[in-house]
A = this chain, B = another copy of it.
Amino acid sequence: MSLSELIKQNRSFRRFDQSFKIEEKTLRELIDLARYSASAANLQPLKYIISVDPAINERIFSCLAWAAYLKDWNGPEEGEKPTAYIVVMGDRSITDNFRCDHGIAAQSILLGAREIGLGGCMIASIHQRNLRSCLNIDPSHEVLLVIALGKPVEQVVLEQISADGNIRYWRDSNGVHHVPKRNLDQIIVSSYNCQA
């Protein structure tokens, strides 16, 4: 699969086949992709907690807020919950400024997941205190993102943004999740192309 295909298929998935188990080894392989990715000044301040343990997963799940734009939906129901989590932290003993390292890492991780038929979602809306307590997170480690993973069971389609500029994703009556994306010409503001 080309990278372009992989990126297009790598949507933010929020409903999963909860009977599909993910192995710890798989999470380690995904973090290895992040490890090989760029880090500002090569500081590599990111640290990770991983879980494929159903009881711990349930506790992590209880610390997360899902899909803010879907007002009538409080997140995946039993049977459709994620079966693995990667908690992405910044180690303040290395630096106080993690810049966009967690974005680089999370993109590598989710592309890697998609390549093997998994999928997931980066979640930044986190009940920090509860999560820190339930995972015994070191005070020097800042929680930056939680990546929820599983075998997706929902269809996500991209669509062109409408004239009113509304970027809120929505779910239709068939449960299909629609995501409006800005056009290329709306995001490239200038182009200098005079070849000498």
Cβ A191 vs Cβ B108 within 8 A = no
Protomer copies: 2
Asked whether any CB of chain B lies closer than 8 Å to the CB of A80, the reply is no
Q: For A35, give its contact among B10, B136, B184, B195 (CB under 8 Å).
A: B184
In angstroms, Cα B42 to Cα A85, docked, is 21
Across the interface, name the chain B residue whose C-beta is closest to A34. B187
In angstroms, Cα B7 to Cα A29, docked, is 12
> A99 to chain B: which residues have CB within 8 Å?
103, 124
Q: List 15 A-B contacts (CB under 8 A).
A: A3-B33, A24-B191, A27-B191, A32-B184, A38-B106, A42-B168, A48-B188, A48-B189, A50-B190, A53-B193, A53-B196, A89-B189, A100-B103, A100-B144, A107-B107
A50 to chain B, nearest CB (A): 5
